Structure 1
């Protein structure tokens, strides 16, 4: 499981109505996380292990994704 983006966590922390809805925080974070759109070769050039870990962990969310077009 990928940790939610810090900005999303901080935003929803101030909204008490969402405190018991962690799936909302995770969904919004997944929607806003653009790191998965970065080509792997570009991510490697940046030399950030945290970024590579995030991309790897996020890939599980998309591996079995089916699209209904």
Structure 2
């Protein structure tokens, strides 16, 4: 893929976040306050999925319901 094609693809996929897009402007103070509790990374989710993956390997016969409740 050429660099021009990559640029067009990125612009198409990120159009909402670039200048003029739906999210392309600075958020208002009210929006910042409402989202201040949100994590900036998905490490918490990754941690849980890592444990689930490990449990599925250790207990391959257990149901998904059981594994997620552990």
TM-score interval, smaller chain? under 0.3
Give the number of the structure with larger relative contact order, counting CA–CA contacts within 8 Å between residues 6 or more apart: 1
Structure 2 length normalisation: TM-score?
Answer: 0.23
The structure having more radius of gyration, on CA atoms, is 2
